Amino acid sequence: MNAVAAQGHNLTVITPDTEKNPPPNVHYIHLENIYSALYNGSEAFDLNGLAKAGLIASIMEFYEYTLMSCASALKSEGIKQLLSYPRDFKFDAVLYDFTCGPCLVSFVHYFGNPPLISVSAFNNPPYTTELVGGHKQYAYIPHYNMKSDVDMNLYERAKNSIIYSFDHL
């Protein structure tokens, strides 16, 4: 991000993490509600619990995390700030972490459909193929929650197929 800004490009960064002194050309839109929604209160999200949960429970927790993130982002002052931009504001491209859910993707249409570049630091999410094509052969590509590598026995392949099918649903 800093390298792109240093080359003279203006960046609008929609994020729960901001810097007090951003580099030139970097403009933050702060999604201030996300962390408080995820980590406070009776429904607080527990990343450690996710790691300890079973296969099905961890999938459900991951989607709950996504829904909580989206709901809090859409209630933030940052979204109001983004909506205050003129509809003809020119974005050359949008880089989007697609593992955070689809709740902000509609802004691509709102701003005239600039190119959307989906990225993820997440290890091969199951829904990648729906976004970018390709395939996930359940018989030999382990689900990210499986403790198997590509050399799975018949039982692991069947379990992997069930987990992928559940996740897909």
Domain boundaries, the chain: 2-122, 134-169
Are the C-beta atoms of 138 and 157 separated by less than 8 Å? yes
In whole angstroms, what is the distance from residue 63 CA to residue 108 CA? 23
> 117: which DSSP letter?
E
pLDDT at 167 over 90: no
Mean pLDDT check: name the lowest of 35-39, 74-78, 155-159.
35-39
168: CB partners within 8 A, 6+ apart:
126, 127
Residue 30 in 3-state DSSP? strand
pLDDT, tens only, 9-66? 999 999 888 888 998 999 999 999 888 888 876 667 776 666 677 888 888 888 888 8
pLDDT in tens, 113-148: 999 888 877 766 777 777 777 777 888 888 888 888
- Of residues 136 and 83, the one with the higher pLDDT is 83
Q: DSSP per residue over 122-163, as a string?
A: SS--TTHHHHH-----TTTS--TT-S--S---HHHHHHHHHH
